[in-house]
């Protein structure tokens, strides 16, 4: 039987991660926060946010290094973050449907 290793193992207990892997995951999380956050912070400039978006969108060499060191498949991370960035762009334009509102409306309607 072949031994396959999954690069995106989200069910592993955090205690099973190496300290270096935790550090790279924190780097990846910070980059994701910088790219997608709407929170205004004096420490994170608009230029930093654009750099983070570029980093996820264009996948420079260090993107692959960070993802692999964090224990993630770089292509999987890229695809997921690209979808999140597209969704955020659509939301800014008012195109994304609010699913919570939709469910609330349907639940309050009486069907006869």
Do 70 and 25 contact (CB within 8 A), yes or no? Answer: yes
pLDDT at 94: 64
> pLDDT tens digit string along 39-81?
776 778 888 889 999 999 999 999 999 999 999 999 999 999 9
Confidence (pTM)? 0.65
The CA–CA distances, whole Å, from 15 to 12, 18, 56, 72, 77 equal 8, 8, 28, 17, 22
Residue 15: is its pLDDT beyond 70? no
First to last CA, the chain: 58
Residue 20: is its pLDDT beyond 70? yes
Report how far Cα 87 is from the mean position of its chain's Cα atoms.
Answer: 12
**Left if phi > 0, otherwise alpha if psi is -120 to 50, otherwise beta: which for 84?**
alpha
Query: Which residue has better confidence, 4 or 27?
Result: 27
Tell me the domain boundaries of the chain: 17-108
> pLDDT tens digit string along 88-101?
877 666 665 555 55
């Amino acid at each position: 039987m072949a031994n396959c290793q999954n690069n995106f193992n989200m069910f592993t207990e955090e205690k099973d991660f190496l300290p270096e892997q935790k550090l790279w995951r924190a780097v990846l999380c910070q980059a994701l926060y910088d790219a997608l956050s709407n929170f205004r912070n004096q420490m994170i400039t608009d230029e930093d946010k654009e750099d983070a978006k570029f980093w996820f969108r264009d996948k420079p060499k260090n993107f692959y290094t960070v993802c692999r060191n964090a224990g993630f498949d770089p292509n999987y991370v890229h695809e997921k973050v690209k979808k999140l960035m597209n969704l955020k762009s659509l939301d800014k334009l008012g195109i994304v449907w609010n699913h919570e509102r939709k469910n609330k409306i349907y639940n309050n309607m009486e069907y006869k």
